[in-house]
Structure 1
Amino acid sequence: MGCTMWGYETLEEAVQSQWDSHIKVVNQDEEKKIVYYLDQNQHVVGVYEYKNEKYFYNNEQSKGMRFSSEKGLPFYIAYDHFEGSGDIVYGAISSDNHVVDNFVIQYKNGETQKINAKNNTFITVLPEHVNKERFMSEVKEVYGYDKQGNVIETWYD
């Protein structure tokens, strides 16, 4: 109990304190305080705190998912509102053989977001002109690109 009250030196330690199984932090948005981590074959996104040079984490707002694909590489995109962080879009391409450099989300309203990838994942803020209640129907296509600009995989509605 004392550790959670005083915080942790690293974000990974703070998140690990909530799990019995080994986790691995793969991405974080320092401004919005969102962490993306792996718990075995589950992808999890949650909110952390950083204060007084210490990290704090609990699973209250965590969103976990497993995903697969019938054809091509497993690829998902999701949206959630996180209290204190806002409207967040996140996703991943699962591959042991490909490294994603960036993701591009094309919305049906014509807006486009380009997000730098980290460990084949992304975290970004929902654009202002995209309807959050109908998020999945607002997304036209999402592309994952490698460093050479080649499409690794495409997600589409």
Structure 2
Amino acid sequence: GCFNSPYPYALKHNPFAYYGSACPSQVVPFTHFAGDMATNVPRLVWITPDLCHDGHDCSNGVVDQWLTQTVPTILASDAWQDNGVLIITWDEGEDNANSVLTLVIRADPVNHQSSQPYDHYSLLATIEDQLGVPRLGQAANAKPMTDLLATVPPQLPKSSS
């Protein structure tokens, strides 16, 4: 894996670092982000912020500034505008229930909100289902976030009578 990674993030926040005996060539530093978003991106792009921008070592204001700079680049990309989904989640909460905020942002104009309880295994199950790969570990029994990814039916034109 990427156990000696030069990238300034906690290894445990990048699940792809654990695949295989060598660091996959697709695991690249965030400095590649803008260029990568301007080209043909793969079906899944996983961004692991560094320890400051993930909220562990810096203030919420610093994290907010990073998101304010990063999210518009994603939303302007062809990949996102072509039926893309942006998922932003935190890895832990401050309360005893360890509730975390997860945002699922879609290109369609309809707002979606779920009353379903989800966890990180639900997110993993959702990603695995979308990629058509078998579910790993606890994700095998998790409820995927399908209500947040459901296709919005096309709107029929209103008749003028």
Same fold (TM over 0.5): no
Larger gyration radius, structure 1 or structure 2: 2
Between Structure 1 and Structure 2, which shows a larger proportion of strand residues?
1
Q: Which has the higher contact order (CA 8 A, sep 6+)?
A: 1
The structure that is helix-richer by fraction is 2
